[in-house]
Amino acid sequence: MNLVLKNDLNLLSDILDEVKSSGIAYLNGLDLLPTSVSDQDIEEIQLLGTGHGTMKSLEIFKENYQKLIVASSGPRYLGFVIGGTTPAAIAGDWLTSIFDQNPQSLKGAGDISAQIEMETIRLLLELFNLPAQFNGGFVSGATMANFTGLAVARQWAGVSLGMDIALEGMTSEIVVLGPTPHSSVFKALSMLGFGSSNVVKINSLSGREALDISDLESKLIQYSGKPVILNCSAGTVNTVDFDDIRAIVELKKKYNFWLHIDAAFGGFAACSPSQKYLLNGWEHADSITIDCHKWMNVPYDSAIILTKKEHHTLQTQTFQNSNAPYLGDPETDFSYLNFLPENSRRFRALPAWFSLMAYGREGFQSIVENSISNAQNFGSYLDKSDALELKAPVRLNVVCFGLKRSGEKTAEFLSVLNSRGKVFMTATLLDGKLCIRAAFVNYRTTQADIAIVIEELEAVCIQLF
Ligand SMILES: Cc1ncc(COP(=O)(O)O)c(C=O)c1O
């Protein structure tokens, strides 16, 4: 064994102690760490002949890089849709690296990780009040979950046309309908060979991001006889609008289409008794995307794709890893290998499993409702502000707002706000106009943070106006 590596193994306990103490120092100071760092230039380094060993590498990392890391897992990072990491999720994540499993087969070589993954999916179905008729597995994020759900949908569409797309490729037109899909849906469609420009868009309701049911019905009539895949949104990224899933499910009784729901973060509405109505009917979907690294507050690299058990054959046709006798028979032995896009995966289920065990239904209700109440309180402030205004109603946990006057200064306003380093938000376009989004996802965010956010906004108003 290489001497540096051997020495590292001997020092493993010290190394992990050092990682723990720097990790704790980081997390304890998260509140005060900057949410943006202006100068992130790093010096190019050369690959070493003889490595430094881990202790020295940690030192170098802390000195040169750690100071450039922004507090995106902290309480006032409100850009994109970014959660943090709960203690249980960190515990699960550390152990994921330590155990280094590759969850594949239920009967595989003594490894229990695939079974724990299945158990985690079962617990998540309970958390979301979804029936046991869904299969599921972990992928790297909602983009890959959308990809996976739409890939099985593509196989279904092919079968409706008498084709096995996984075997024969795509030769015939398949219609995909999408109202206001997340950009990752377009990406997934491109990767799947649909051609993202072939998407037929359904009109949205006036002043909303949700689809117009009557337009959906007229398109379903127009394309009758063709396999139609409907991607619908349970929580759009700008205004957290929900398509009327119950009405869509009513149409599903009349027309034949695949229903994929992108519930990347909106799925967590199921954890709140007062908000779960937004998802009414979602148990009738063919496939559902839910991100765990957003509102569940587990570290990155974690989302689930749920697909109806009745589509199991379509799914294994789509993802079969055939011609590898050493990996088992896809026809007879269940393996995640034949069920999801990746062959080898890290044990992504473990942080989610620890979080579910540690916090249960009440813990997640409290995380979700805390974010909603933070968003509402921030929205109430904006309602009373002279300089700022809401650009959409606060529906769940994202607040979309902008300047009342001088809309042309929105980009400058956001840039000054972010450069102050105490709060971070991102821009978006709503009806073609630039506005600002504040997404409340992190379990650490408190009322005191909202007060700081407001102070910061007011300071920027004074600076600019
Ligand atoms: C509704 C929705 N779908 C999909 C995604 C893509 O998620 P990921 O970045 O985890 O792939 C996002 C990310 O914000 C989202 O909000």
Domains of the chain: 101-355 (3.40.640.10)
Mean pLDDT of 223-251: 95
Mean pLDDT of 380-391: 97
Mean pLDDT of 434-439: 97
Our mutation pick for probing the ligand 1 site, out of 72, 139, 143, counting the most ligand atoms within 8 A of Cβ, is 143
| Residue pointed to by tokens 């015939």 | 172
Ligand 1 atom closest to the CA of 145, numbered from 1? 11
Residue 213 CA to residue 234 CA, distance in Å, equals 15
Residue 297 CA to residue 305 CA, distance in Å, equals 17
Asked whether residue 128 carries a pLDDT value surpassing 90, the answer given is yes
**pLDDT the model gives residue 230:** 95
**pLDDT the model gives residue 109:** 59
**pLDDT the model gives residue 238:** 95
Our mutation pick for probing the ligand 1 site, out of 81, 82, 183, 397, counting the most ligand atoms within 8 A of Cβ, is 81
Q: Is any atom of ligand 1 closer than 6 Å to the C-beta of 141?
A: yes
**pLDDT the model gives residue 83:** 95
Give 178's pLDDT tier (boundaries 50, 70, 90): confident
- For the chain, give the mean pLDDT: 94
Q: What angle do the packed helices 213-222 and 245-254 form, to 10 degrees?
A: 20
> Residue with the nearest Cα to atom 16 of ligand 1?
237
> Residue with the nearest Cα to atom 1 of ligand 1?
264
Q: What angle do CA 284, 286, 288 make, to 5 degrees?
A: 95
- Residue 131 Cα, ligand 1 centroid: separation in angstroms? 24
**pLDDT the model gives residue 261:** 98
Q: Is any atom of ligand 1 closer than 6 Å to the C-beta of 303?
A: yes
Residue 88 CA to residue 256 CA, distance in Å, equals 43
Q: Is any atom of ligand 1 closer than 6 Å to the C-beta of 264?
A: yes
Q: Is any atom of ligand 1 closer than 6 Å to the C-beta of 142?
A: yes
- Residue 430 Cα, ligand 1 centroid: separation in angstroms? 18
**pLDDT the model gives residue 107:** 66
The torsion region of residue 421 among left (phi > 0), alpha (psi -120 to 50) and beta comes to left
Chain segment 36-79, per-residue pLDDT in tens: 998 888 889 999 999 999 999 999 999 999 999 999 999 999 99
Chain segment 282-295, per-residue pLDDT in tens: 999 999 999 999 99
Mean pLDDT of 391-399: 97
- Residue 174 Cα, ligand 1 centroid: separation in angstroms? 24
**pLDDT the model gives residue 180:** 82
- SS percent in the chain: helix, strand, coil, step 5: 50, 15, 40
Choose among 423, 146, 77: nearest CA to 85.
Answer: 77
Give 110's pLDDT tier (boundaries 50, 70, 90): low
- Residue 115 Cα, ligand 1 centroid: separation in angstroms? 27
**pLDDT the model gives residue 173:** 66
Q: Is any atom of ligand 1 closer than 6 Å to the C-beta of 267?
A: no
Mean pLDDT of 153-162: 94
Mean pLDDT of 165-176: 79
Ligand 1 atom closest to the CA of 80, numbered from 1? 14
% of the chain beyond a pLDDT of 90: 87
Choose among 427, 422, 429: nearest CA to 438.
Answer: 427
Q: Is any atom of ligand 1 closer than 6 Å to the C-beta of 265?
A: yes
Asked whether residue 175 carries a pLDDT value surpassing 80, the answer given is no
Q: Is any atom of ligand 1 closer than 6 Å to the C-beta of 231?
A: no
Question: Lowest mean pLDDT: which of 9-23, 160-174, 216-230?
Answer: 160-174
Q: Is any atom of ligand 1 closer than 6 Å to the C-beta of 209?
A: no
Asked whether residue 143 carries a pLDDT value surpassing 90, the answer given is yes
Asked whether residue 330 carries a pLDDT value surpassing 80, the answer given is no
> Residue with the nearest Cα to atom 14 of ligand 1?
81
Q: Is any atom of ligand 1 closer than 6 Å to the C-beta of 456?
A: no
DSSP state of 277: G
Ligand 1 atom closest to the CA of 266, numbered from 1? 1
